[in-house]
Structure 1
Amino acid sequence: MAGRVRCSLALALVVVVAAAAAAVATAKLYSPADRILVNCGSATDGLDAEGRRWVADASNDTWLTDSGKSSIMAAADELEPMLPSSIPYMTARVFTMDTVYNFSVNPRDRHWIRLHFYPSSYNGLDPDDFRFSVFTSTGFTLLHNFSVYVTAKALTQAYLIREFSLPRVPEGHVSVTFSPSPMVNVTYAFVNGIEVISMPDLFNDPATMVGFADETVDVSAAAFQTMYRLNVGGAYIPPSNDSGLTRPWYDDTPFVQGPLRGLVYNAGPHFHIKYPSDVAEYAAPPELYLGGRSMGRDQRLNQNSNLTWILHVDCNFTYVVRLHFCELQLVHANQRVFDIYINNRTAQTDVDVLEMATERGVPVYKDYAVRLSNDTADEELWVAVHPSVMLRPQFYDAILNGLEVFKVNDTAGSVASPDPTPFKLLAEKELGWGVPPEFSTDNPANMASVMGGTAGGAAAAGIVAAICVVVYSNKRSKKLGGGGDSHTSAWLPLYHSHTSGKSSGHITANLAGMCRHFSFAEIKAATKNFSNDLAIGVGGFGVVYRGVVDSGMKVAVKRSNPSSEQGINEFQTEVEMLSKLRHRHLVSLIGFCEEDGEMVLVYDYMEHGTLREHLYHNGGKPTLSWRHRLDICIGAARGLHYLHTGAKYTIIHRDVKTTNILVDENWVAKVSDFGLSKSGPTTLNQSHVSTVVKGSFGYLDPEYYRRQQLTEKSDVYSFGVVLFEVLLARPALDPALPRDQVSLADYALACKRGGTLPDVVDPAIKDQIAPECLAKFADTAEKCLAENGTERPTMGDVLWNLESAMHFQDTFDAAAGRPVSALDAASSSSHLDDGSTASVNTLATSSTSHRHEACVVLEPDDVVAERATFSQLVQPTGR
């Protein structure tokens, strides 16, 4: 099953490249009568990443029937970097009993109901404490005994969106009830966001039942759940590009199965889609119809093959399958005619798109219904197309442009299904579970097939993806709003595990001699009493604020969450590590505060924030040029190389990622966040340190996870992910992408080995990279991601290779007349998201300007001897 679904990008498709964006027809936007976006559990309204306004449910007493008295407003205890936006996911409404949301709606419209869930802990409640059902006043069951935590873990997704469509409600209002499931242990219900949006009636005509030509299924009065919405042969289409209906359309590549992968094609740059009178412009966005997938040019192969998509679904439901077509290449009837099969049954024969649409560039769609009984093998829905031989068309070929699958409610009015079952990847000693032989963690080949070799690989079985960590803590009884003992998070990403217990002042004596000890009054003065206006980030330890100490010195102040019982180990590790380490490419710790239960760390302020903020084109910060990115990678590699070799003992960072590489006012890269760092082997007889797995999912070394044996090569693996993230400008994990692209490491390696890596490089830098530099850089990243640590290079080798890549870039830029020195490059411009440019004074004192800087480590016994050189670091008044 897993083998059928996992796609190999090594078998690259032949793509006809065209400027499709210029060809998109201007579709008439649908304007919904109702557009209600509820930011649940929040007291304030806010905008999400797409600029949509979400209204706080606390500001509307009519939505909650009891005005919220039987629920609480809660904030997520952890911020997951993979969330598309903090709104609506960082707040939730938590329910202890059946609670109803009421919405007044236009009685003439169907409505989308979209429920947003983020499986975090809320007010100390474990994510797996939430199990519930969701009902509507119109008699439909949307979710039953549903666990967001289990489902998200099985799908390796950071958050979940469940989309339903409800028929018209003549009474003009619809209610949504959240009902905690009755269990032996106390359970709760929750929701982060609710959308109620009018939608046009997309199902005016009944769907033909496959296998029964004279039987149709009328879904006009039914509720249905969106299962799949695929842009066949095309890339992801965001909701903002969907004609006012805010539907996401996903790449179909992971679902194309069998030996015939087909040929992807696109329309020319001046092509326009012409919607006929009987096809509304909101049936699908023009971008969907401007590309497609055909069977290919081999006519003999096509006659003996099918082009097939396999989709995982639930049994005992009826599904409506909508196929979208648009002929972009041919102009006459009977040039391309084909048959359609669904679950090995003939849905329709002799389909001629030109005959249905009357001319080229006119979209059409066809609906088919299919019933999956309980004996359906593997819970799969097969869609296949095959050339029609009987009519002897000019070309033996078939096409498809779009594919949608909707689950229709059963006779009881339910579209709910059981939670998916994740793979059990932990050893018996961890959970008391038996590990299936085919997923044995003792067999590296098997583990590679599950994890994709990268701690977060391609999904298997269509819906059940590889699970990297499954750690269940012993369930503890909790009271709503209470704290409870801390536990190791069991879902992705691997959150920093904290030791419970509040700081009480006893560790100050151990740390006071290492760096400056601030009073809490000084900290509050520096941050204007932790003003929200000065907050610059949130991490596992707590909120980070911008501050000023000593009459003008800018600092970053990281405060632990005072209401939690977490972080003492990380706090002490950070102070101990950074007090002994001084290097140009490590963030400098100025001091700390440990007073009245508060734990605060004070660092040098990094003017330009994190590397990650400058890689993506949606944060408002300058997008870095290729030279800037490569220079920052070299600096970060120097910092990590120093950790591995320059200190008394090897120091393993254990959480290398782009959010932990900061950039100062001179664009010098500095490695930060040493809360998870650990000393490496202390004797020649040791090759590793045995320790529990900690880190961030997507960057995590699979060998470290598998064996729980930590080496400096674990940092090398994580840094390899960073290198590809810098090159492709996409996150280490992105659950919104097709399954074979969720893991950056998997996807980049597949592209590298398939020869398509240059095609997926960030377009903002693609034309700036010297071919030899790209080859050297990509080879280095690939070696870092070797499955076995012994096959990975050292950080010293990585640094050497990156500097070699910079040499190739220098030669290339000099030949092209571009600036090659760091000082000259300082005047270069970076493109902003709006297409304008921003002058960036960046590299005058960057890492490439200092290829041979001295590195010094201060051990406790060395502090006095080095006081003359480093007096500004150890003076109690700071620097």
Structure 2
Amino acid sequence: MNIEQNQPLSIIFSPEHSQSDKTYAFINGIEVLSMPSDLYYSHDDDDLGARVVGQKSRFFIDNSTALEIMQRLNFKWDPIPYLGMFGKWATVPDEKIKDFTWKTSVDVGFGYLLRLHFCERGLQMAETRNSVFSVSINDMIAETNVDIGKKRSVVSGIHLHRDYMVMVKGNKEDGRRDLSISLQLKDELVSELFRGLEILKLSNHDNSLASPNPSPPRRSSKSATLLNLLSFFGHGNAIATGAVIIISLVNIITYKLRKIWEDNCTDSGCKPSGLTEKLCRPFSLTEIQSATENFNDALVIGRGGFGKVYRGFISKEQKIVAIKRLKSNSRQGAREFWTEVETLSKLQHTNIISLIGYCNECQEMILLYEYVPNGTLADNLFGLGGESDYHSSLSWEQRLRICTGVGRGLDYLHTGTDLGIIHRDIKASNILLDENLESKISDFGLAKARKRNRVQSYVSTNVKGTFGYFDPDYFRTRRLTRKSDTYAFGVVLLEVLCGRPALDRRVKEDEQGLTIWAQDCISKGVIDQLVAPSLRPKYHQRA
């Protein structure tokens, strides 16, 4: 459109519901744009505004806030014609993913709006079953146990989305930092429920979207020394100057290559410490393939966010073992892998799972444990799939013995070694039962070691673990202590007593959290309702 000099500029937005459900935009009387008014739907009237991650407040976008689309991610291969008009969508492979994490680099000092879009098929499925998901952003919990099916009745024909707002803080010198978004679903796949993800940058207090200018890097003392040497020799003969330059360059290149090698050590198959290797031997990938019949699915005895667990036979040692193979798209990685190898290889206790060996070859990360035939405590309490009609056969005496074993194992971790290990992920699915129903604590990928003789009683770290088992103090302060494990163990004791998981999405929303429900029963004086139905006859006989 050409606008002549001194010609007044007139921009008008006009909703014309009588003709169609659209809003029209006119510039100087010429129609330039028409947009459907039902382009997006947010939430109910009492749920407007984006949730601010890490706070209890909400953020409202008004006409003083400018937005810039930074990233768009499509969870499906088909195009998304209704999600905005400008920009392109990146696409992730349409894989069967329940737990999804995505990272992107953004400018520090700005707020960012994260918008999750739901697909039509996912909303239709949500009407007939619980479509529950959780969202965490930058290791902070944004929202948990969201049942999107409850919104379906009010959004028919409208594209539903959900908004979250997060502030990305940092030093000006940093310039940019990573922003991570994690989605966790119980039953559905990411590609079934979600259509796409948008990240929009919000203008700052100066009404600006401009990226901060990072401060120029300071010249290191090594660089200054090198320049002084070159300046000194520059007045001498050219041969001496050239020799100094060559020697300096060789030293710099050698130093850089060594740093790169050290940083990538765990990713390239390097070995752990000598002591660890003596206690826990490395296996070749060929041995693992032979033990699992080339990872035959018929030998799978368990699976989780990390990958599959196989029942394997090591012919050389004539021993049955459990082999855990880390999948490539797992949220766990090299750090958790080597943490478990280094930690478990130094532990020896009846109630701690024994690590036999590991394999770190051809980008495979595999752990070999002693074989425990009776599965996890969660399997024995709630069934292999957490079936609603499952009735555990564990007697009261067996449950007591299992819990006593877990307590002994935890005491050994906290006080039995100089390391002072905090497990950080105690839960029913990480407690294994052998042929005698002896309990064994497993999965040390998130474990933290703290010297027992240190004055400081806590470790400052990002919150990691499992929803339902989080210690509230650790979640609030990010200060990890042994009490965090003790709290999670208390939740496990409640699971054993009540016969229901820490988070039970099959019951009413206000009763889904086991600890909250238990506190409510105690406050109402109906403690007998806490006891699992299969234990109540024995409980009444003892009363």
Counterpart in the other structure of 1:598 = 364
User: C-alpha offsets along residues 692-733 of structure 1, whole Å, 9 cap, x if unaligned?
Assistant: 211111101110111111111110000111111111111211
Q: Taking structure 1 as reference, are residues 574 and 415 closer, same or farther at Cα in structure 2, changes over 3 Å only?
A: same
2:144 to 148, 152, 156: 156
Q: Give the SS at the match of 2:521.
A: helix
Code of the residue aligned with 1:505 in structure 2: it is G
CA distance in 2, matches of 1:155, 1:506: 39
Asked if the contact 1:542–1:561 (Cα under 8 Å) also holds between the matched residues in 2, the reply is: yes
Q: How does 1:297-336 map to 2 (within 5 A)?
A: none
Q: CA deviation at 1:634?
A: 0.7
2:347 to 574, 581, 585: 581
Code of the residue aligned with 2:363 in structure 1: it is G
1:718 to 483, 488, 497: 488
Q: CA deviation at 1:514?
A: 2.5
Q: Give the SS at the match of 1:156.
A: strand
Q: Give the SS at the match of 1:675.
A: coil
Q: Taking structure 1 as reference, are residues 654 and 624 closer, same or farther at Cα in structure 2, changes over 3 Å only?
A: same
CA distance in 1, matches of 2:333, 2:280: 19
User: C-alpha offsets along residues 246-286 of structure 1, whole Å, 9 cap, x if unaligned?
Assistant: xxxxxxxxxxxxxxxxxxxxxxxxxxxxxxxxxxxxxxxxx
CA distance in 2, matches of 1:527, 1:645: 37
Q: Taking structure 1 as reference, are residues 664 and 149 closer, same or farther at Cα in structure 2, changes over 3 Å only?
A: closer
User: C-alpha offsets along residues 490-515 of structure 1, whole Å, 9 cap, x if unaligned?
Assistant: 7689xxxxx99972121345542231
Counterpart in the other structure of 1:796 = none
Q: CA deviation at 1:669?
A: 0.6
Q: How does 1:168-567 map to 2 (within 5 A)?
A: 225-226=152-153, 407=154, 414-415=157-158, 419=162, 474-475=178-179, 487=180, 489=182, 503-508=267-272, 510=274, 511-550=276-315, 552-562=318-328, 566-567=332-333
CA distance in 2, matches of 1:159, 1:546: 36
Code of the residue aligned with 1:94 in structure 2: it is K
Asked if residue 644 in structure 1 is aligned to residue 409 in structure 2, the reply is no
Q: CA deviation at 1:767?
A: 1.7
User: C-alpha offsets along residues 269-315 of structure 1, whole Å, 9 cap, x if unaligned?
Assistant: xxxxxxxxxxxxxxxxxxxxxxxxxxxxxxxxxxxxxxxxxxxxxxx
CA distance in 2, matches of 1:408, 1:569: 43
Code of the residue aligned with 2:300 in structure 1: it is A
User: 566-575 or 586-595: which moved more?
Assistant: 566-575
Q: CA deviation at 1:683?
A: 2.9
Q: CA deviation at 1:596?
A: 1.9
Q: Taking structure 1 as reference, are residues 707 and 500 closer, same or farther at Cα in structure 2, changes over 3 Å only?
A: farther
User: C-alpha offsets along residues 566-617 of structure 1, whole Å, 9 cap, x if unaligned?
Assistant: 5211111111111111111111111111222211110011110000011125
CA distance in 2, matches of 1:741, 1:565: 29
Q: Structure 1 unaligned segments of length 5 or more: list them.
A: 1-91, 101-116, 137-141, 164-224, 227-406, 433-471, 476-486, 494-498, 772-811, 817-879
Asked if the contact 1:587–1:603 (Cα under 8 Å) also holds between the matched residues in 2, the reply is: yes
Q: TM-score, normalised by structure 2?
A: 0.56
Code of the residue aligned with 1:561 in structure 2: it is K
User: C-alpha offsets along residues 401-438 of structure 1, whole Å, 9 cap, x if unaligned?
Assistant: xxxxxx486xxxx455653668x7x9x85899xxxxxx
Q: How does 1:100-111 map to 2 (within 5 A)?
A: none
| % identical equivalent positions | 40
Q: Give the SS at the match of 1:503.
A: helix
Asked if residue 655 in structure 1 is aligned to residue 425 in structure 2, the reply is yes
CA distance in 2, matches of 1:750, 1:710: 27
Asked if the contact 1:500–1:566 (Cα under 8 Å) also holds between the matched residues in 2, the reply is: no
Q: Taking structure 1 as reference, are residues 586 and 691 closer, same or farther at Cα in structure 2, changes over 3 Å only?
A: same
Q: TM-score, normalised by structure 1?
A: 0.36
Q: CA deviation at 1:680?
A: 2.3
Q: Taking structure 1 as reference, are residues 119 and 162 closer, same or farther at Cα in structure 2, changes over 3 Å only?
A: farther
User: C-alpha offsets along residues 832-869 of structure 1, whole Å, 9 cap, x if unaligned?
Assistant: xxxxxxxxxxxxxxxxxxxxxxxxxxxxxxxxxxxxxx
CA distance in 1, matches of 2:374, 2:170: 42
Asked if the contact 1:681–1:689 (Cα under 8 Å) also holds between the matched residues in 2, the reply is: no
Asked if the contact 1:609–1:663 (Cα under 8 Å) also holds between the matched residues in 2, the reply is: yes
Counterpart in the other structure of 1:614 = 380
Decide which structure has greater helix share. Answer: 2
Q: Give the SS at the match of 1:600.
A: strand
Q: CA deviation at 1:553?
A: 1.9
Q: CA deviation at 1:518?
A: 1.3
CA distance in 1, matches of 2:104, 2:527: 43
Q: CA deviation at 1:753?
A: 2.9
Higher RCO, 1 vs 2 (CA within 8 Å, ≥6 residues apart)? 1
Code of the residue aligned with 1:489 in structure 2: it is S
Asked if residue 97 in structure 1 is aligned to residue 79 in structure 2, the reply is yes
Asked if the contact 2:391–2:534 (Cα under 8 Å) also holds between the matched residues in 1, the reply is: no
CA distance in 1, matches of 2:171, 2:134: 17
Asked if the contact 1:151–1:420 (Cα under 8 Å) also holds between the matched residues in 2, the reply is: no
1:120 to 99, 103, 114: 99
Asked if residue 755 in structure 1 is aligned to residue 525 in structure 2, the reply is yes
CA distance in 2, matches of 1:690, 1:683: 17
Q: How many residues align?
A: 353
Q: CA deviation at 1:473?
A: 8.0
Q: Taking structure 1 as reference, are residues 132 and 715 closer, same or farther at Cα in structure 2, changes over 3 Å only?
A: closer
Asked if the contact 2:307–2:330 (Cα under 8 Å) also holds between the matched residues in 1, the reply is: no
Q: CA deviation at 1:643?
A: 0.8
CA distance in 1, matches of 2:301, 2:434: 15
Counterpart in the other structure of 2:58 = none
Code of the residue aligned with 2:99 in structure 1: it is S
User: C-alpha offsets along residues 307-326 of structure 1, whole Å, 9 cap, x if unaligned?
Assistant: xxxxxxxxxxxxxxxxxxxx
Q: Taking structure 1 as reference, are residues 120 and 591 closer, same or farther at Cα in structure 2, changes over 3 Å only?
A: closer
User: C-alpha offsets along residues 371-400 of structure 1, whole Å, 9 cap, x if unaligned?
Assistant: xxxxxxxxxxxxxxxxxxxxxxxxxxxxxx
Code of the residue aligned with 1:623 in structure 2: it is S
Counterpart in the other structure of 1:698 = 468
Asked if residue 741 in structure 1 is aligned to residue 511 in structure 2, the reply is yes
Asked if the contact 2:491–2:502 (Cα under 8 Å) also holds between the matched residues in 1, the reply is: yes
CA distance in 2, matches of 1:560, 1:474: 24
Q: Taking structure 1 as reference, are residues 556 and 687 closer, same or farther at Cα in structure 2, changes over 3 Å only?
A: same
CA distance in 2, matches of 1:559, 1:520: 11
Asked if the contact 2:100–2:183 (Cα under 8 Å) also holds between the matched residues in 1, the reply is: no
CA distance in 2, matches of 1:629, 1:684: 36
Asked if the contact 1:119–1:149 (Cα under 8 Å) also holds between the matched residues in 2, the reply is: no
CA distance in 2, matches of 1:565, 1:747: 30
Q: CA deviation at 1:736?
A: 4.2
CA distance in 1, matches of 2:356, 2:536: 39
Q: CA deviation at 1:125?
A: 10
CA distance in 1, matches of 2:133, 2:454: 47
Q: Give the SS at the match of 1:615.
A: helix
CA distance in 1, matches of 2:421, 2:447: 7
CA distance in 1, matches of 2:352, 2:98: 34
Q: Structure 2 unaligned segments of length 5 or more: list them.
A: 1-73, 83-95, 106-112, 122-126, 187-262
Q: Give the SS at the match of 1:638.
A: helix
Asked if the contact 2:460–2:479 (Cα under 8 Å) also holds between the matched residues in 1, the reply is: yes
Asked if the contact 2:118–2:160 (Cα under 8 Å) also holds between the matched residues in 1, the reply is: no
Q: CA deviation at 1:765?
A: 1.2
CA distance in 1, matches of 2:136, 2:465: 22
